[in-house]
Amino acid sequence: MTNDTSRNTGFTKPVTYDIYLVGVGGQGVLTIGELIAEAAFRKGIPVNFYPTKGMAQRGGFVKAQLRLGRATIGPAIPEKGADMIIATEVSEALKAIRYVKPGGDFVLFAHVWAPTAVMLGKAPYPTLDQVFDAARDALNAGGRIHCIPEESLPMFEGSPVPDNIYTLAVALKQTALGELLSPADVEQVLRTRWKRGVERNIFAFQAGLGAQSHEAVTQ
């Protein structure tokens, strides 16, 4: 990430910003990338968005690369090159850690999607401690882990709020992404993207902005 330090805030203002997103099918992880991309585009920020899907079914892996502020289309995000990882499933999060740069941010919605082999006892599934240990090693001093327990999602009319919208809000509020895009920028996209469920999505977004979830990573 290259930075503009002209603003005296908690973060330096990013000029370029790279995000690596991972999860499983059915979670809306690509929607997170699309919302960020649309908000950036409306602000005139160059956007390159590269989604990838695994098996075309619920539970198949999904990943995307989002590169903001680059005037030309460049190569894929290299290992140790992402300013932020947004992961919405524990096992896929562990696989993605190698892409975060030292001093970056690792945002995890701690959902567990155990494949058949795990449920049958034929394959292991990573623990949160294993994921956190790997993340600390990759982030080094100055990086931060932002973990969102699945059970922490607030309720809206008797059902948990959309975890992808909530996770996006946490990332926007607690990382340098919030210096590139404001909550108002993203909320405007939320209000115009879908005809239904606007109130529910805005509730999830506002709740995520107010969440406390980060764990500082120190030496």
Domain boundaries, the chain: 15-216
> Tokens standing for 92?
């896929």
Closest CA to 54 of 16, 89, 11, 2: 89
Verdict on whether the full-model pTM lies above 0.75: yes
Give tens-digit pLDDT for 11-67: 455 589 999 999 988 788 999 999 999 999 999 999 999 988 655 455 678 999 999
Give tens-digit pLDDT for 179-196: 999 999 999 999 998 888
Q: CATH code for 15-216?
A: 3.40.920.10
Cβ atoms of 49 and 115 closer than 8 Å:
no
Is the sign of the CA dihedral 106, 112, 115, 119 positive or negative? positive
